[in-house]
Chain A
């Protein structure tokens, strides 16, 4: 996939667990796992906003474009 989700890296930087983030942004851990593994087809702006708010970062810190 061309878009890489660097959520793991940001979580490690903020020393936060996936479970905590899921609880803060209001999604299930299963969905967060889908997002982290790159299986997600799309991310809602509202989810992205919540993640950015919770991790105090920019969307570019989480999403990265890599050419195939």
Chain B
């Protein structure tokens, strides 16, 4: 269980660090429509948006930024659920419906986030660079995320089987 404790501590630290990031994501997702983030001199913060084609007055660009920040929130939500699952593991509540459902949620959230990322990159490529569909061979972050999401879905199925096996074992006299 020491490994679990180490994992829980790391996840806790990352989650605590993520909280201000999460709040700023929410602020950006909403504020992008009202505030020009390329000029934040009035609050003494220098913010650089990594897109030379970003135009703060363009509604479509703002929508893309808003969706991508909301998409990031999905990953944080998955991370939060994972943290709660680890808490259950620490209390030796392993093969339970909550854990199974949580793995299912985590998997779905990661896959949805990866799909949104793929669609966003495709749309932004089409919109900014007027380029069509591009195929990348190699380790793509989105493909890795889809694999991770599917892994959690498989884990959920495995835990479901394990739960039934445990129940059967408990009811074997």
Residues of chain A at the chain B interface (Cβ within 8 Å): 27, 31-32, 34-35, 39-44, 47
Whole-angstrom distance between the alpha carbons of A34 and B173 in the complex? 8
Whether a CB of chain A sits under 8 angstroms from the CB of B49 is no
Determine the residue in chain B with the shortest Cβ distance to A48. Answer: B173
Determine the residue in chain A with the shortest Cβ distance to B168. Answer: A41
Whole-angstrom distance between the alpha carbons of A31 and B173 in the complex? 6
- With both chains docked as a complex, state the minimum distance between the C-beta of A28 and any C-beta of chain B, in angstroms: 10
What residues of chain A lie closer than 8 Å to B171, measured between beta carbons? 34, 39-42
Residues of chain B at the chain A interface (Cβ within 8 Å): 167-168, 171-173
Whole-angstrom distance between the alpha carbons of A27 and B171 in the complex? 13
Closest 9 CB pairs of A and B: A41-B171, A42-B172, A35-B173, A41-B168, A40-B173, A31-B173, A40-B171, A47-B173, A43-B173
What residues of chain A lie closer than 8 Å to B168, measured between beta carbons? 41-42
What residues of chain B lie closer than 8 Å to A43, measured between beta carbons? 172-173
What residues of chain B lie closer than 8 Å to A32, measured between beta carbons? 173
A/B interface sample: 14 pairs, CB < 8 A: A31-B173, A32-B173, A34-B173, A35-B173, A39-B171, A40-B172, A40-B173, A41-B168, A41-B171, A42-B168, A42-B171, A43-B173, A44-B172, A47-B173
List 12 extra interface pairs beyond A32-B173, A42-B171, CB under 8 A: A27-B173, A34-B171, A39-B171, A40-B172, A40-B173, A41-B172, A42-B168, A42-B173, A43-B172, A44-B172, A44-B173, A47-B173
What residues of chain B lie closer than 8 Å to A42, measured between beta carbons? 168, 171-173
